[in-house]
Structure 1
Amino acid sequence: MVDHLLKVVKRDVGMYVHKFAVDLGGILVETLHSVSGLAYGQDVVEVKQVSSDGEPTIRKQPGAAQSGQITITRGMDRSEALTNWVKETQATHNHAGALQNISVVFLDSSNNVVKRIQLLNAWVSSRSAPDLAADGSGPAIETVQIEFDDMVIE
C-alpha cells in the first residue's frame, strides 16, 4: 500500500515553470522567453465602528479588484500575431478594437494544458525593441507590456 502511494507521489511533480505558452485569441505566440507579473490584487477596505458597548472595532473586507500588468519577453521572429496586436493598439490608437482576452497556459511534459490563466480585456501598453550591437551574438529580444482588467484562473 505504501509503495503504491510513493509511486503516485513521485509521478506527480506539479507544473513546470519552463513549459508555458501565451494564447492570443486562439493563436499561440511563438518564441517566448518569459512572462512575468502574473499577479492578482484586491483593495482592502478597513471599516472602523464603535460597538453598542462603546468599544472601537476594526474590520477588513474586500474592496474593488485591481487591474494588472504582465510583461512578455520574446525573441523577435516573423510571427505576426503579437506584432499585429501591438500595431492595432499603438499605431492606430484603436484601444477598443485591441481589447482581447488572452491566456497564459501552463503545459506538462507532453505539452498538454495543465492550467490556464485568462487575462480579460487585455491590451498592449508598451513595447521595447531589442538592443542592437555590432559585436553581439545573442538573439534579438523584445519586451511587451500588457495591461488587463481581470484575471480568471481555470
Structure 2
Amino acid sequence: MLTGDSFSSSIFAIELGKFQVETVQSVSGLQLDQDVVEVRDVSPAGELLIRKQAGSRKTGEITITRGMDKSAAFTDWIRATLINADLDAVRQNITIALTDAKKQTVRRIHLTNAWASRWEGPSMEASEAGPATEQVTITYEDIIVE
C-alpha cells in the first residue's frame, strides 16, 4: 500500500468477548463524543470571559446490520440481553477490527461493557427479492480507538 492510501472500510471483523461474530453487513454510529463545558468569569477589569473546557466523555451506541442466518453465538447473546434482561451476565467487550487487503489488523476499536439495547427484524414484502436483515443497537460505556 502506498503512503497516503486509505484502508477500505469494507474489510472488518467483529469480536464479541471471546468469539467472532459470524456475518455482518455494516456497522454504523461509531463516534467518540465529549461534553463541552462553558465557564463564564468576570475579569478584575469587569470584562466577561467565556472559556470552553472539556467535560466528561459520553457513552454511545452503534448499530450492526447483518443477514438473518443460522449463526448462533451472536443471536444467543442478543436473546439473553433483550429477553432475559440480565445485564450483569451479558455485558461484553466488543472489538471491531479494521483489516487491510492482506487480512492484517490495522486498527482496533474497543467498546467496553456493551449490551444489545434494541433489535429490529427484517422488513418483509412479497415484491422484494433482497436478503432478510436484522439490525441490533449496541449500547456501550466506553470506546477506545487504537
Which TM bucket (shorter chain)? over 0.9
The amino acid across from 2:84 in the alignment is T
Aligned equivalent of 1:139: 131
| Residue matched to 2:7 | 15
Q: Provide the C-alpha distance between the structure 2 equivalents of 1:82 and 1:28, rounded to a whole number of angstroms.
A: 9
Question: What's 1:92 paired with?
Answer: 84
Find the aligned partners of 1:128 and 1:103 in 2 and give their Cα distance.
22
Q: Share of identical aligned residues, percent?
A: 43
The CA distance in 2 between the partners of 1:70 and 1:31, in whole Å, is: 16
Structure 1 segment 1-154 matched on structure 2, within 5 A? 8-9=2-3, 13-154=5-146
Structure 1 or 2, whichever has the larger Rg, is 1
Q: Is the 8 A contact 1:128 1:144 kept in 2?
A: yes
The CA deviation at 1:136 is: 3.3
CA RMSD in angstroms comes to: 1.5
Give the TM-score, by structure 1 length. Answer: 0.89
Number of matched pairs: 146
How many Å apart are 1:132 and its aligned residue? 2.5
Unaligned runs of 5+ residues in structure 2 are none
Q: TM-score with structure 2 length normalisation?
A: 0.93
Distance in 1 (alpha carbons) for counterparts of 2:94 and 2:142: 11
Distance in 2 separating the partners of 1:137 and 1:8 = 40
